[in-house]
C-alpha cells in the first residue's frame, strides 16, 4: 500500500532504481545515512524540500545527473533576498560540496 510523504522538509523521499519510494526521516546525519543505506546513492534520486532566508554557505555539484533546472556536472549555490522554499530532485551519487 502506498503511503504519501506529507512533509518533505521533515521526511525526504528516496526514489530507488526500480522507482519504488522509501521515506527517510531527516536527521543531522541525513546525507551520511543516505550514502551508507543506499549504496552511495548509486542510481537513486532524492526528493526534498528546503526553506531558507539567507544565501547558501556552500556550492554543490551533481556529476551523475541533472537536478531539475541545474544541468549535470554544474557547480551551483543559492542566493536569496527573501524567504524561499524550494523542491529539489537530486541525483545524489557523487555529489560534492565546497565552501563559498
**How many independent structural domains does the chain possess?**
1
**Measured distance CA(53)–CA(57) in Å, rounded:** 12
- Per-residue pLDDT reduced to its tens digit, 2-59: 566 678 999 999 999 999 999 999 999 999 999 999 999 999 999 999 999 999 999 9
Flag whether pLDDT at 1 surpasses 70: no
pTM of the model: 0.86
User: Residue 88's domain spans which residues?
Assistant: 11-99
- Per-residue pLDDT reduced to its tens digit, 57-67: 999 999 999 99
- Per-residue pLDDT reduced to its tens digit, 62-81: 999 999 889 999 999 999 99
**Residue 5 domain-assigned?**
no
How far apart, in Å, are the Cα atoms of 94 and each of 41, 45, 54?
8, 12, 26
Give the per-residue pLDDT at 68: 85
**Residue 1 domain-assigned?**
no
Q: Are 45 and 10 in contact (CB under 8 A)?
A: no
**Residue 57 domain-assigned?**
yes
Give the per-residue pLDDT at 2: 57
Amino acid at each position: 500500500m502506498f503511503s504519501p510523504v506529507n512533509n518533505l522538509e521533515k521526511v525526504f523521499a528516496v526514489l530507488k532504481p526500480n522507482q519504488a519510494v522509501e521515506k527517510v526521516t531527516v536527521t543531522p546525519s541525513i546525507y551520511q545515512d543516505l550514502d551508507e543505506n543506499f549504496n552511495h546513492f548509486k542510481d537513486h534520486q532524492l526528493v526534498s524540500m528546503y526553506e531558507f532566508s539567507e544565501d547558501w554557505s556552500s556550492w554543490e555539484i551533481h556529476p551523475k545527473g541533472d537536478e531539475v533546472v541545474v544541468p549535470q556536472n554544474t557547480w551551483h549555490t543559492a542566493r536569496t533576498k527573501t524567504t524561499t522554499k524550494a523542491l529539489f530532485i537530486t541525483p545524489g551519487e557523487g555529489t560534492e560540496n565546497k565552501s563559498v
